Amino acid sequence: MSEVVPAWEAGDELEERILPPVTRLQLSEYAGASGDFNPIHTIDEAAEEAGLPGVIAHGMLTLASVGLLFSPYLEHGYVKTLRARFSGMVFVGDELAIGGRVTGSEETEEGRLHAFEVYARRGEDTVASGVLGFLVYAPDGSGPA
Amino acid sequence: MSQIERWRSMVGERSERVWNVVERGAVRKFAKAIGDPNPLYADEAAAKGSRYGALVSPPTFPRTFEYGEIRGMGWPEGGMLHGEHRIEYRGGPLRVGEEIYCSTELKDYYEKESRGGLLGFVVVERSGETPAGERRFTMQDVAVVTPALRRTLENE
């Protein structure tokens, strides 16, 4: 976890992270932890019936991975808003890159709200993208209400 | 009435509020499944010393709650794809032990022609409130009915 309050400025790029390849075990584990047992994520036959070449990762798992970029700053603030579109399927064995950049920030009653464009990509293909707002609490130590 | 006709006719219907609590074990399992080792999700001592004073949950955790059923709406067992997800929080991340009353509303159903055939879009809002009725988060999800799933639903 980062000891330092993030000093993001518009235009800053977040350091891109390459995630380990998606595994079947991970999809089963996420199904159990999330309660999303849609069989297109775990059973090949069900995926094929739905017109897919094989099981696909949960979109929410991909999106949770995007959240990993902000986890190191949780001591200083939190992901307040997230809006994402899923634009590609993620298959077992895929290696995703997650990243983003700062687009601006504004002072709010709760603290400073930083805006980001974020993405998850497999090679050149964007599989999820959107905008995210990270709220940094004022440095006087005031916490959440 | 087919599933698609039911979606069309039930826009605006919502579920009863359902009581949920942010459970420590559920958060720990969820954080592990998404590969996030943050101690504020799992280490009680670290969390106690943090500004939150308690363990908190990851941003996408609220999808794990029970939101109740919109009576008579139905939902296919499988085959729906996830198109979009939105969430907005008020008042910080959810804390372990926090009680949340959750409900869901069918916001819209619409269709669009695509290269592969007609696509259906089911828009669902899910929200969580404190016991005092203050909004903690609002989510909106778009689920996609593929042409393959549509054929199955129409033959049922």
pLDDT of the residue at A3: 65
* Spans of chain A, pLDDT less than 70: 1-3, 140-145
CA B41 from centroid of its chain's CA atoms: 20
Cross-chain Cβ contact B78/A51 below 8 Å: no
pLDDT at A119 (0 to 100) = 98
Nearest residue of B to residue A67, measured between CA atoms: B59
Q: Residue-wise over B11-45: b if at least 16 C-beta within 10 A, else e?
A: eeebbebbebebebebbbbbbebbebebbbbbeee
Nearest chain A CA: its distance from B140 CA (Å): 9
pLDDT digits (tens, 9 = 90+) for B1-32: 899 999 999 999 999 999 999 999 999 999 99
**What distance in Å separates residue B10's CA from the closest CA in chain A?**
23
Instruction: Answer yes or no: is A145 within a domain.
Output: no
pLDDT value of residue A143: 60
The CATH number linked to A101 is 3.10.129.10
Which of A34, A74, A137 has the CB atom closest to B64's CB atom? A34
pLDDT for the residue numbered A138 = 87
Here the tokens at position B20 are: 């949920």
Q: Residue A74's pLDDT is what? A: 96
Note the pTM of the prediction, 2 decimals: 0.93
- Domains, chain B, ranges and CATH? 3-21+65-154 (3.10.129.10)
Calpha distance A145→B52 (Å, rounded): 10
Q: What pLDDT does residue A72 have? A: 95
- Could you give the maximum distance between any two Cα atoms of chain A, in Å? 56
What span, in angstroms and rounded, lies between the C-alpha atoms of A40 and A92? 12
Q: What is the pLDDT of residue B78?
A: 77
Distance from the A105 Cα atom to the nearest Cα atom in chain B, whole angstroms: 17
Give the span between the Cα atoms of B34 and B116, in whole angstroms.
32
Q: Give the domain range for residue A132.
A: 17-136
C-alpha–C-alpha distance, residues B128 and B21, integer Å: 11
pLDDT at position A29, please? 98
User: Which strands, in side-by-side order, build the sheet including A97-107?
Assistant: A17-18, A97-107, A112-122, A125-136, A77-86, B81-89, B135-145, B117-129, B99-114, B18-21
Q: Is residue A6 part of a domain?
A: no
* Average pLDDT value for chain A: 93
Residues of chain B positioned with their CB less than 8 A from the CB of A78: 56, 59, 89, 92-93
For chain B, which ranges sit under pLDDT 70? Answer: 156
Q: How many domains does chain A have?
A: 1
What is the pLDDT at residue B151?
Answer: 87
Report pLDDT for A6. 85
Alpha-carbon radius of gyration of chain A: 17
Residue A28 lies in a domain: yes
Domain assignment present for residue A79? The answer is: yes
Interface of B with A (CB under 8 A): 26, 29-30, 32-36, 38-40, 50-53, 56, 58-60, 63-64, 77-89, 91-93, 146-149, 152
Q: Hey, is B35 helix, strand or coil? A: coil
**Chain B interface disruption, residue of A60, A66, A70, A110, most B CBs within 10 A:** A60
**DSSP letter, residue A47:** H
The answer to whether the beta carbons of residues A68 and A93 sit under 8 Å apart is no
